[in-house]
Structure 1
Amino acid sequence: MPNLFYAGPKLDVLHEEYAKKHRIDDAAGIKAVKETTIAAPVERVWQLLSDVANWDETLEPGVRDIQLANGVTVDGRFTRKKSGATMKAQFAVVEPLRELAWTGKAFGAKAVHRFVLEPVGDTETRVVTEESMAGPLFGLIFNTAKLEAVLDEALVTLKRAAESTPA
């Protein structure tokens, strides 16, 4: 049973010492890793993943009101709404064709979310996504199974968008 009172590191520490160092909070009670292989070149997958304004169609169905303050840049801030929650987030890693990671906070929980891309030949891309979430009592309203479902949905949506986009 995860510690319901674990708050995790402060958000700035999570951003600088975890996300920017290509890791999630392994001590968080809610965390998941999912992966898929997409029949599309890494350039196409990256283009969709980094097009944050269109995540509702290419990554996270249900996401609304995405606002980018400075574009998709390291330390660039953005907000988005999903299921009534507004997440305030900040990009930690923006490595074109390789990794997109951010930290954010919503409902009192702090999260680190990473997408890592790996070309498989010239025509396929392996995508690994992982996320950790921590906040006092957050485990009472959200859990690892729900996070796994969110990550699965993101990968399925990304895969569908990448594989249906003309070359």
Structure 2
Amino acid sequence: MRFEDVTEIAADAERVWAVLIDVQRWPEWTTSVSRAERGEQGPFAVGATARLTQPKLRPAVWRVTELTAQREFVWVSETPGVRTTAEHRLLPLPDGRTRVELAMSQSGPLAGLIGWLYGGLLRRYLRLEAEGLKRRSERG
């Protein structure tokens, strides 16, 4: 199963990226995350981890598997039967704005069931993240 959301933000990619990778502050701008803790100090890079607590979901540890500075990061969370991959992509637009593409996909033996049970919630959380990122980034 795959869920996606897209938004355009009236801020440059550098600004949006700074907000996006400051994971510990996500609860300040999206109600889809109630608590976020980095697993280690230092730069947000491949291998970095964060533990996210989200309403109506079990806390999950996410590990960054791909990262291109100011462009995208992908991270993965695994639980028995389900592997969840979340993609965060920034596409600079010619007028100084940024297109943000968020996607979440699930694989594994329980992915279909989880998608069926939580698909609406996951779509709503992607929308809340996109809207919150837009508000925070445009605040400047």
TM range (shorter): 0.7 to 0.9
Quote the offset at 1:53 in angstroms. 1.1
Rounded to whole Å, the distance in 2 between the matches of 1:33 and 1:155 is: 10
Residue 51 of structure 1 corresponds to: 22
Quote the offset at 1:32 in angstroms. 1.1
* Matching residue within 105, 114, 137 for 1:162: 137
Quote the offset at 1:122 in angstroms. 5.1
Residue 118 of structure 1 corresponds to: 91
* Matching residue within 105, 112, 119 for 2:78: 105
Q: Is the 2:33–2:52 Cα contact (8 Å) retained in structure 1?
A: no
Q: Is the 2:7–2:99 Cα contact (8 Å) retained in structure 1?
A: yes
Matches within 5 A, 1:66-105: 66-71=37-42, 72-83=44-55, 85-105=58-78
Quote the offset at 1:65 in angstroms. 4.3
Size of the aligned set, in residue pairs, is 135
Q: Is the 1:48–1:58 Cα contact (8 Å) retained in structure 2?
A: no
RMSD: 2.1
Any gaps of 5 or more consecutive residues in structure 2? none
Quote the offset at 1:147 in angstroms. 1.9
CA gap of 1:60–1:92, structure 2 versus 1, over 3 A, is farther
Give me the TM-score of the superposition, normalised by structure 2. Answer: 0.84
Q: Does residue 3 of structure 2 align to residue 32 of structure 1?
A: yes
Identity of aligned residues (%): 27
Residue 128 of structure 2 corresponds to: 153
Higher Cα Rg, which structure: 1
